[in-house]
Structure 1
């Protein structure tokens, strides 16, 4: 597994935190216990409350995403509690903002882990990878990350929802080939974050390039790099015919805007976390609507399905001043998956971490109405190999329209991580 940028940038700090946290006590929960209704409980269940953790980014590179994800999950919990909760327990979220900082992310995990049943959100592949050994070895609480690195596959407790970045990028390059005229012998650029996210996506672009006879021109960046002028200049000089972007919304706006300003008219496609509709109001807006696409693990918030329309109405009622984006879908989906696992664990009278983990394994065809069916029965496999291709469009709800519905390309279907 590639070392993450988190480990490289703050190896000493993370190691220290992990050592101190290695003996985190569960004593305050008193071990397994059984409620009056015969339901087995342990960490994260106290009195009449189930507590779930949410490790988010509301002040860093993914601040827009983190806010939407968290608010959607708070909305889900509110509705779940209004419907009676789970086994008579109310559910609450304990939220921490790590600001996409590795030290803060691991410290927040360390703080919350003994107090929660599991984590309904954890933004940042590098940070999830930094605690993976602890999760698998001693903590064993379900973690549903807002992260899609293939290195997270195989854990029975850290479960990625949707296609991993390598699969998503394979589908993205397939779109460039089938819809944007990229052909054998062409060069494509790939601008990517160092660490698990970008390097997992790079595996996908290289795999597809090998399959299709393309050459990948790499440009590695840091999450703190916001000006993509140097990258655009290098890729233009190299003669690439299209660009894959595995970074954040800020990098997307800069890259597409700089390319347009310099007359570099090539299609750019980003991974699912590389866009926010707020970008359409910036100077880069016109260029984004012309040349930018996004590969997504689900239909967008503005999808024409009953579930999407209800979510839009409910979210607008709860947060009337906030924009609609696909972070809402991602947050709602993760909360729904965790909620369904809790309900099944309740039916089995086992609301311990082990009980919830076992319950998730029974969800082999889970569909909440956003175009992709999820299968969580195999921890070693992504829950889906499909991607939806979206394009920015400020005239539609949520700022994204569907240009190719959910599909797993032939290369994605046969790909082995």
Structure 2
């Protein structure tokens, strides 16, 4: 759901400068054994007898302001519901929100500011920013982070845990959907329009793997997040004779791609990663074409699904925020909240509310299901929590703008994919 305007290397370099400038060591999380409360529960950074503070590092003013708002408000709703039910270990969960505007300097500064004051992070938008702090988290801070980012570069840490399929796996499932439904066939050429950086290039790894498995040829079109007109890409892919297009970019790029293709009578299916759609697009001139030829892959049922989990959340969210529209950020944010809640409950039962206790609790979760279409397994830090994807189509009549066309499925190529190879 996040684009990758800044490279991981650039963010990491900026992180080093920012941390040095802010003198963060005095506020660093300890990840230590902590102290015991009157009930014999060990507690760590920021936790008091009454409060478990969690950080929310989001984008409320940048390129993903709409998404960041939905994710954050759904997590505030989650915390309110949890606290009304009694909280965790006799404590209320308190969210501290920082808006980084999808700016690398603001992102790492916000992380530095909160470090040592919060027990972990229920949200951190921006794969490059999370990747930039990953080494420090592993060696020093050890706070649990559930990022709103799905790059495979984030795998391997016991503290940074990817919720859902990574972009490579998601792309493999997307292409398998096209094959299974005979929208493409062995020997076909498929296009892939993707952002430069770890989001798009991680997705490209998936399309290349899927193509190799199925006897397809990938025609690449790399773009920048500032490229909003896809006319050149559509022309090139039409000339190359592709039979379908994968798009690993933002909503604007996806809408342009679909709209330009339709205007040029280039009638091929187009399928995007979870970050390549926003329901607001359905009110634009590209709306009809999106509903005809576009698909979206994601790791959660859409908020407009009639299933019990999404339906209950949609009702509660609309009651809490009646003026705001629904989108899949609501489902994604709430899912992360429920996962953090389960980790806290398990850590409390173990009488270990330290950062290490939370990380250990997450690793014990092998079949977590909060009613959003799939289970999540966090026992292996080197793997995402699932290899399944839900395939959806835009639908203006459905709240949130997406309807399910294929329930959560892990394709055989996705099951066989090995990370880092």
TM-score calculated relative to the size of structure 2: 0.94
Q: Note the C-alpha offset of 1:120.
A: 0.5
Q: Note the C-alpha offset of 1:297.
A: 0.5
Q: Note the C-alpha offset of 1:20.
A: 4.1
Change (3 A) 1:164 1:56: same
Counterpart mapping for 1:266-345 below 5 A: 266-345=268-347
Choose which of 152, 155, 158 in structure 2 pairs with 1:153. Answer: 155
Secondary structure at the residue paired with 2:265?
Answer: coil
Change (3 A) 1:330 1:222: same
Residue equivalent to 1:392:
394
Please give the alpha-carbon distance, in whole angstroms, between the structure 1 residues aligned to 2:326 and 2:28.
42
Residue equivalent to 2:39:
37
Please give the alpha-carbon distance, in whole angstroms, between the structure 1 residues aligned to 2:164 and 2:8.
25
Counterpart mapping for 1:15-414 below 5 A: 15-20=16-21, 23-26=24-27, 32-414=34-416
Please give the alpha-carbon distance, in whole angstroms, between the structure 1 residues aligned to 2:222 and 2:62.
19
Change (3 A) 1:304 1:134: same
Q: What is the alpha-carbon root mean square deviation over aligned residues?
A: 2.0
Q: Note the C-alpha offset of 1:21.
A: 5.9
Partners of 2:392 and 2:405 within 8 A in 1: yes
Change (3 A) 1:226 1:97: farther
Residue equivalent to 1:13:
14
Change (3 A) 1:82 1:180: same
Q: Note the C-alpha offset of 1:281.
A: 0.8
Change (3 A) 1:229 1:22: farther
Secondary structure at the residue paired with 2:364?
Answer: coil
Please give the alpha-carbon distance, in whole angstroms, between the structure 1 residues aligned to 2:149 and 2:124.
8
Partners of 1:44 and 1:118 within 8 A in 2: no
Partners of 1:300 and 1:401 within 8 A in 2: yes
* CA offsets 1:230-261 (integer angstroms, 9 cap, x no match): 22222222221111111111211121112212
Please give the alpha-carbon distance, in whole angstroms, between the structure 2 residues aligned to 1:157 and 1:30.
11
More divergent stretch after superposition (233-242 vs 313-322): 233-242
Please give the alpha-carbon distance, in whole angstroms, between the structure 2 residues aligned to 1:323 and 1:97.
20
Please give the alpha-carbon distance, in whole angstroms, between the structure 1 residues aligned to 2:136 and 2:168.
25
Partners of 1:54 and 1:93 within 8 A in 2: yes
More divergent stretch after superposition (260-269 vs 384-393): 260-269
Secondary structure at the residue paired with 1:189?
Answer: strand
Q: Note the C-alpha offset of 1:262.
A: 2.0
Change (3 A) 1:216 1:19: farther
Q: Note the C-alpha offset of 1:5.
A: 3.7
Partners of 1:303 and 1:370 within 8 A in 2: no
* CA offsets 1:209-228 (integer angstroms, 9 cap, x no match): 11111111112222222222
Partners of 1:61 and 1:223 within 8 A in 2: no
Please give the alpha-carbon distance, in whole angstroms, between the structure 2 residues aligned to 1:170 and 1:234.
23
TM-score calculated relative to the size of structure 1: 0.95
Please give the alpha-carbon distance, in whole angstroms, between the structure 1 residues aligned to 2:178 and 2:122.
34
Count of aligned pairs between the two proteins: 415
Please give the alpha-carbon distance, in whole angstroms, between the structure 2 residues aligned to 1:4 and 1:249.
14
Secondary structure at the residue paired with 1:46?
Answer: coil
Partners of 1:5 and 1:194 within 8 A in 2: no
